[in-house]
Amino acid sequence: MKYPEFIPAVETREDVSPEEVAAIVAGRTTPLLMKGTLAHWPMVKAARAGQLADYLTPFDQERPLVLFRAGAETGGRIFYNDKLDGFNFERATGQLLPTLRQLESGAYGDDCCYVGSTPVDHHLPGLRAQNDLDLPDCEPLVSLWFGNRTRIAAHFDLPDNLAGVVAGRRRFTIFPPDQVANLYPGPLDFTPAGQAISMVDFYAPDFERFPRYRAALDAAQVAAMEPGDLLYLPSMWWHQVEGLDDLNVLVNYWWRATPAWAGLPFDALMHALVTIGGLPQAQRQAWGHLFEHFVVNRTDSAAHIPEARRGVLGELDRETVEGLRKQLIDRLQRMP
């Protein structure tokens, strides 16, 4: 499989220290690759020496985790089966250190083994005391991701993301949020791991079936990462992730721009599909204009209204949001 050579590299810096990361990414809306920023982490050094499992042993709580396992015929692509009524992998239960040691020894051969978001503080408490980033203005979820040569289809995440490579090489192919139509997302409610994914096979794109994917490739950027590198991915940017070695380990930090009590935007999208998706096209477009005005361009939608009378168009606090949520729940319960 040959990677498309025409895709340009994401903006890259080689002078970012760990202490500068939080200030550099604050308010940033485009990706940034920071080379070597985490090279000082003891776990990165242990991985370079082939001793990562040994280094992690004192922290491990021997708690179960979920493995994705697939045969060599998948080429490491975590995806649906041919009928789209299931997936091309099986889920199994394992433990962190035995799985990591099997990967270090190459025990899986050409078969695929992938472990997704695994909370570090739950499985490896104390690890962050020696391997961490200081992000003072947020409370990130810190997770471990590892496996062998795998391909995770392009998808987006709600939180902002800092992804640091600990072992192996990773490659992120990144697409701006406005490329959603050109990426041909699959089902929203039937996904391999919780997020809708692009249905296009990056290495064998069917341009007859997915003609707009050419435009997505024209807008793509690539981040080629080695141990110690750190990538900032803003919220909602699509990204395909590849593990390029027999052992790949990544630690990521997720955090949201809004508090948890504000709820999840995806819930609003799903409700909009129910209430608006079935309307005639002209009415859907009219609602699109309302969303554009009141939600997308929110800062301008109420400037002409006295602040004391802006209501839900003004700044929302927890009390107001909880009141709105109760109203919504009551209305949903009264639906015929």
Condensed to tens digits (0 to 9), the pLDDT of residues 228-248 reads 999 999 999 999 999 999 999
Tens digit of pLDDT for each residue in 121-148? 999 999 999 999 999 888 899 999 999 9
Helices (H) and strands (E) in the chain, counts: 10, 14
Question: Alpha-carbon torsion 256, 202, 171, 102, what sign?
Answer: positive
Per-residue pLDDT at 112: 96
Domains and CATH numbers, the chain: 12-255 (2.60.120.650), 260-333 (no CATH)
Higher pLDDT residue, 126 or 260?
126
Q: Provide the pLDDT for residue 301.
A: 81
Res 250: pLDDT: 98
pLDDT at residue 1 in the model: 65
Looking at residue 336, its pLDDT comes to: 78
- Per-residue pLDDT tens digits for 305-325: 898 888 888 888 898 889 888
Check if the beta carbon of residue 162 is closer than 8 Å to that of residue 231.
Answer: yes
Check if the beta carbon of residue 164 is closer than 8 Å to that of residue 232: no
Separation CA 71–CA 193 (nearest Å)? 18
- CA dist 167 and 103 (Å) reads 11
pTM: 0.94
Instruction: Give the separation between CA 74 and CA 151, rounded to whole angstroms.
Output: 10
**Percent of the chain clearing pLDDT 90 (strictly above):** 82
Q: Give the least confident one: 23-32, 57-66, 165-174, 298-307.
A: 298-307
| Predicted confidence band of residue 95 (pLDDT cuts 50, 70, 90) | very high
The answer to whether residue 329 scores a pLDDT higher than 70 is yes
Q: In which band, very low, low, confident or very high, does the pLDDT at 303 lie, cut at 50, 70 and 90?
A: confident
C-alpha–C-alpha distance, residues 313 and 308, integer Å: 11
Using alpha carbons, list the distances in angstroms from residue 326 to 111, 206, 322, 332.
49, 47, 6, 10
Residue 259's pLDDT is: 86
148 neighbors 103 (Cβ within 8 angstroms): yes
Band (pLDDT 50/70/90 cuts) for residue 210 is very high
Smallest CA-to-CA distance from 148 within 102, 103, 189 is with: 103
SS3 call for 134 = coil
Q: Which amino acid is at 148?
A: N
| Nearest partner of 4 among 205, 148, 226, judged by Cα | 205
CA atoms of 220 and 173, how far apart (whole Å): 7
